[in-house]
């Protein structure tokens, strides 16, 4: 199946700093990528849909200015958590859909665990 990578796997930062997370589709081109957040013992929460070459579509309640998404190429989307605070500590997961596939399966990256001190 298709492979999606994420970098970094984990990051610890001080409150007030910004953190960038990269999501790459390694063997396919993804016009659409998705960013999720998952708090402990909770389900995935879709934050935004990232579209190559256009602005991301954010879910209700997700601050656009705080979670900056850039999808500059067909294989790379980035999520920047600006002015991070301890409540932003979470597991961030990206996924991508392979448009050449038979299903609408989303392939997930391994996730990035963010801890804000």
Binding positions for other proteins, rule: CB under 8 A: 1, 34, 42-44, 46, 49, 91, 93, 103-111, 113
Q: How far is the CB of 100 from other proteins (least distance, A)?
A: 15
For other proteins, the closer CB: 57 or 70? 57
For other proteins, the closer CB: 82 or 111? 111
CA dihedral 31, 35, 48, 28 (to 10 degrees): 0
Which DSSP category does 21 fall into? E
Q: How far is the CB of 44 from other proteins (least distance, A)?
A: 5
Triad 20, 21, 25: Cα angle to 5°: 140
């Amino acid at each position: 199946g298709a492979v999606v990578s994420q970098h970094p796997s984990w990051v610890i930062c001080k409150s007030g700093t910004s953190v960038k997370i990269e999501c790459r589709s390694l063997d396919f081109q993804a016009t659409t990528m998705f960013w999720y957040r998952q708090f402990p013992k909770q389900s995935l929460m879709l934050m935004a849909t990232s579209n190559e070459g256009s602005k991301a579509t954010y879910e209700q309640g997700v601050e656009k200015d705080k979670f900056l998404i850039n999808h500059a190429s067909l294989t790379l989307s980035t999520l920047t958590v600006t002015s991070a605070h301890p409540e932003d500590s979470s597991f961030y997961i990206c996924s991508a859909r392979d448009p050449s596939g038979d299903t609408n399966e989303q392939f997930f990256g391994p996730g990035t665990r963010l801890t804000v001190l």
